[in-house]
């Protein structure tokens, strides 16, 4: 958008829509915090009550996406 290139900006955003929905699938920051922890950007995915950890199903799904992204980046 800063380069006044609406088409490229829209394409970039479309690539992030799924991630945004995924990170807000559960009603607390657990998914985002888990992702940051897996990327080594924070020390722990732990949350303080009343927030709870992301479900095992969501963590497994995030692991799949993170691993796929790492494999693509390594190519």
Q: What share of the chain is helix, strand, coil (3-state, %, to 5)?
A: 60, 0, 40
CA-closest candidate to residue 19, choices 68, 74, 52: 68
**Cα(24)–Cα(60) distance, rounded to whole angstroms?**
15
- pLDDT > 90: what percent of the chain? 41
Please give the mean pLDDT across all residues of the chain: 88
pTM exceeds 0.75, yes or no = no
pLDDT of residue 1: 66
pLDDT tens per residue across span 22-58:
888 888 889 999 999 999 999 999 999 999 999 999 9
pLDDT of residue 19: 82
| Angle between helix 30-38 and 56-74 (nearest 10) | 40
Mean pLDDT of 9-25: 84
């Amino acid at each position: 958008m800063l380069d006044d290139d609406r088409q490229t900006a829209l394409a970039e955003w479309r690539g992030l829509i799924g991630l945004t929905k995924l990170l807000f699938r559960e009603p607390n920051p657990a998914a985002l915090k888990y992702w940051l922890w897996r990327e080594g950007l924070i020390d722990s995915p732990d949350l303080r009550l009343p927030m709870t950890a992301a479900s095992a199903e969501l963590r497994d799904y995030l692991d799949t996406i993170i691993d796929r992204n790492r494999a693509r980046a390594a190519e």
